[in-house]
Structure 1
Amino acid sequence: MEQQHQQDSALTPLTKPKDFGKSDYGCEHYKRRCKIRAPCCNQIFPCRHCHNEVTSNLSNPKDHHELVRQDVKQVVCLICNTEQQVAQVCSNCGVNMGEYFCDVCKFYDDTDKGQFHCEECGICRVGGRDNFFHCKKCGSCYSVSLRDNHLCVENSMKNFCPVCYEYLFDSIKGTTIMKCGHTMHMDCFHEMAGQNQYRCPICSKTVCEMSAYWRSLDEEIQATAMPEEYQNEVSILCNDCNNTSNVRYHILGHKCSHCNSYNTRRISTPDNQ
């Protein structure tokens, strides 16, 4: 340890190797060898997410604000503590303050995540440029597996997750596009599915493969006769195909006559038929 300290101290400004201290510094969001000075409040933070977490918890709601990443002008090197203009290499000690660096987003990261800057999104993405394409109608980058294979909803990513209400466009969490075209966090989608919630929270359309469950309902309804006083017709609206049907009332559910979905809702009652 003492020998290592002597070697480190012998490295004078502009003589440290560029990878010195790689992955040894940073925060829970990014490994990087610098902090940023937030121009909005003139405070120093490890990254913009750290800034936003602190400011969103301030006691006065009027003080809540988010950092605009492109506005950052000054950074502080964590190796030599020199504050300087945004650049990849420290002007004093010569280390890379981030192995990945984007001058547009003022973004540094020592961990290889396949980062790339999307000009149309205007921000950096992760996962490898060759693995993504930019959907102009949806307004965001999606996996190439979804090219010509998803329902476009205009600016669907420039909205809040309907479960946790975090802004999706620049969220660091993984997202998924549902069959209806609306978008939400992948974790939120799995949590919703785990609670047997199969409808999109935005449009109420079915977002999972439900054909096996519909067949099971067919069998249950056929095996469960309703009392004579409830054997009336009701009008239903299908959330999936938006058609209306007149069907026999049943407490277990009502099947759309057009698409066979049970994702329906009554628009009349047995009493007023």
Structure 2
Amino acid sequence: MSRVDVGAVREARAARPERIAHAFAERRRRPLTRGDGRLFIIAADHPARGALGVGGNPLAMADRDDLLERLAIALSRPGVDGVLGTPDIIDDLALLGLLDDKIVVGSMNRGGLRGASFEMDDRFTAYDVPTMTASGIDFAKTLMRIDLADPATADTLEATARAVTQAAAAKLPIMLEPFLSSRVDGAVVNDLSTEAVIHSVAIASGLGASSAYTWMKLPVVEGMERVMAATTLPTLLLGGDNGTSPDETYRSWENALALPGVRGLTVGRTLLYPHDDDVEAAIDIAARLVHP
């Protein structure tokens, strides 16, 4: 039996779009951190960048009914603190009444479409700071891929710095997800070596006129203790879709979560589309790692 009434969402969007604003106005909010001070955020902002694939299924995230069902399961589990998404997904979840007592993270730059010739020119095409503060969004998020051979990176860096400055002025926490990237056979590939991640952290940390509200969103790589030694900024770990076994993935998260400065997980596809398709079990394992 479905946990969500997507038909009601479609009806509201067509006939009563004002209900979205009402849902945000009535949403029960919570402090950013509480208890153990850690966060477990479910990420679902991939589709807006044209990144629909999971594992061997290139269109896994294309079915919105199915995605919302999986998100509903995830948000119902103990230990899940919130969700990260673009306005279309967050608005769907608001209409479904699934955002009460959850941290809502707004994804800002989705213009660097996967596979596009302009992928490094990662325009800010989704949330902006004024809209998030007006709607009561709790957290902002940006993706920042740095290709030293692509001049479009400069525009992305400048736009990201501007977003950090605006977020700090609005006292809105903002997480930066930096990578050193390059094109390999025409595809953008992120360098996940320890040294590359350390360099990306150093570059991202200095963006904007204030770092007071800046967080990092970083991949789990070898030498993670060296990565975390490179910054004092609070950090959430990302999951990705790396094809490793679930046990190996959970073990790497557990080890990284023990490092100073690591404050939790922001994971999407790995948990929403697990190998055995048991979303509830995957979420519960990750929640126990974040909130032991």
Give the TM-score taking structure 1 as reference length: 0.21
Give the TM-score taking structure 2 as reference length: 0.20
Give the number of the structure whose residues are more often helix, by fraction: 2
Structure showing greater radius of gyration is 1
The structure whose RCO (Cα within 8 Å, separation 6+) is larger is: 2
